[in-house]
Amino acid sequence: MKKIPILYLNSILIASIQTELTDEEVLSFQSELLKKNNKLMAKGVIIDVSTLDVIDSYMAKVLGDLTTMVKLQGSAFLLCGVKPAVSSTLVDMGMMLTKIDTFLSLEKAFNFLTSNDRKFQ
C-alpha cells in the first residue's frame, strides 16, 4: 500500500499526492491526514496534485469530503497544482469542487496561508 508523506511546516500540513491511489489508499490517506491535523492543530492543510494526470470521480469526492472534515476541525483546506487537462476532465464529469480553495502552485498556496492578510471562506 502506498503511503503519502504528510509534512508539517509553519503550522501547515502539506501532502503531495504523486501517484494514482486505489480507493483503499485514498481512505487511508484521508484518515491519517485527519488524525495528524487533529493532533497538530494545523492552521491549514495543503494537498498538492501537480504530478497527477488523472483525478477520478472517487478521488474528487474524497477531496470534497476532506475539505469539509478539515474545516470542521478548524483548519483551512487548499488544493494546488491541478493541471489544465485534469480540471477540464473534472468539469466534464460534473465534479464541481467549489468548496475547495485552489492555487496554481504549492508556493502560492503556502504564501496564502502564511500571509497575515489572508481571508478564509
Q: Are 60 and 95 in contact (CB under 8 A)?
A: yes
pLDDT score for 30: 96
Tens-digit pLDDT string for the chain (121 aa) = 788 999 999 999 999 999 999 999 999 999 999 999 999 999 999 999 999 998 888 888 898 899 999 999 999 999 999 999 888 888 887 776 677 889 999 999 999 999 865 554 4
Give whole-number Cα distances, 15 to 34, 52, 76, 87, 93, in Å.
Answer: 12, 13, 14, 19, 25
- β-strands 6-9, 76-80 pairing: unpaired
**Cα–Cα distance, 4 to 19 (Å, whole number):** 9
Q: Please name the amino acid found at residue 23.
A: D
Rg (CA), the chain: 13
Q: Is 92 left (phi over 0), alpha (psi -120 to 50) or beta?
A: alpha
**Cα–Cα distance, 102 to 1 (Å, whole number):** 28
CATH classification for the domain delimited by 6-113, as one of 3.40.50.1970, 3.30.10.20, 3.30.750.24, 3.40.50.620: 3.30.750.24
